[in-house]
Structure 1
Amino acid sequence: MHGPALSGWLLMVLCGVAGAHCLLRTRGATGEERRAARAEAAMGFGMAAMAVPAAVLTPSAWTWAVYAVLFGGAALRALWFIRGGGHHLQHHLHHLVGSLAMVYMAVAMAPGGGGHAGHGAAASAGGIPLLTGLLLAYNALYVLTSAGRLIPVAATAGAPGDGPGRGAQPEVALACRLTMGIAMFAMLLTL
């Protein structure tokens, strides 16, 4: 990722923590909630890996191809679940847009892919400005609507028999999604 090293570290930690929490959510979830938590964990860890400051670790050329393939697979997975429709359609559409945005960033950040040859100081901005702008607008809207849904959510107790920290915690899951939306916005800004 381009930009100041401190912001890269902060994004890396934020996305890593969100990914770890999503991974922990898979333990208490079933069915669709478990699939969503797995997808969000993969997105969080992938975003954390991409946010490592270039001054600390300069990724090799093949790293960007691996990111593109992994997030391309996540986009195909989201498409697979979209085909069935259902009440989680909006969530799968968001995963599709997020995964495709990660593929786009991986391609734009690859040496020769968008002008970021080796993360050099003289590297020009990568990506297609119109597409970057559309993705920024989407993520800004997503963050604002997610924040709006988070405010009125009252804390609820988990299902009977759930231990501490287990059970349904929709406000924490929404906060993780909000965090990753903000991080995606910040990563797109550095593109």
Structure 2
Amino acid sequence: MHGSASSGWLLVALCAATGAYCLLRMRSRVEEQRRSAGGEALMGFGMAVMAVPAAVFTPPSWAWPAYAVVFGAAALHALWAARASARHLHHLVGAGAMVYMAAAMSASGGHGHGGSGVPLLTGALLLYFAGYVLVTGVRLVPVPAVAEPGGPAGWGDRPELARACRLSMGMAMVAMLLTM
């Protein structure tokens, strides 16, 4: 993705930290946390790699199609999981956005900026993720604590941290789409 190097590195750090926390969530006692954490970790690390400033590292030409294949597989997995729960539709949209950005970068030879994407689709994705960020941010408003059955929650079991990670990935997606 393109933009200033300092904002690119901040985006890399944010996405990598989010991916690392999602890996911790894979050890959760709560099955639903474990189930979604793997896909979110893939998304966080994938976004971190895509956000590395182009001035520092320009991926080889085969990297963008490889990203599209990896996130296309993640989109198929999310589509399959959405049969059981509509919560996975967000994962489907996120993986689809990653495929879209990888395809746009591949088409531009990895050097495109502005106009490399389809403006209507970029705009629709921007609206979706901006709305997602606003809704998720509102859900982070503090509520009274509820005692956890079986003792205090571990780091991987804290729903407010999972929401904060989803919020940070949503904001990162908005930032990446703005550079298209």
TM-score, scaled to structure 1: 0.88
CA distances 1:113-163 after superposition (whole Å, capped 9, x unpaired): 1xx33427xx55311000000000000000000001111344445442557
Percent same amino acid among aligned pairs?
61
Contact 2:23 2:37 in 1 (8 A): yes
Q: Per chain length, whose mean CA-contact separation is higher, i.e. which structure has more relative contact order (CA < 8 Å, sep 6+)? A: 2
Partner of 2:93: 97
Give the C-alpha shift of residue 84 in structure 1.
Answer: 2.4
User: Which residue type is aligned with residue 105 of structure 1?
Assistant: M
Partner of 1:117: 109
Contact 1:18 1:41 in 2 (8 A): yes
Question: 2-side partners of 1:118 and 1:82: how far apart?
Answer: 32
CA distances 1:82-126 after superposition (whole Å, capped 9, x unpaired): 1224xxx1x20000000000000000011xx1xx33427xx5531
| Alignment gaps of 5+ in structure 1 | none
**1:78 to 2:74 alignment:** no
Contact 1:156 1:169 in 2 (8 A): no
Give the C-alpha shift of residue 29 in structure 1.
Answer: 3.6
Question: 1-side partners of 2:132 and 2:52: how far apart?
Answer: 24
Contact 2:58 2:110 in 1 (8 A): yes
Alignment of structure 1 residues 31-70 onto 2, 5 Å:
31-70=31-70
Question: 2-side partners of 1:152 and 1:133: how far apart?
Answer: 31
Q: What is the aligned length?
A: 180
Partner of 2:160: 171
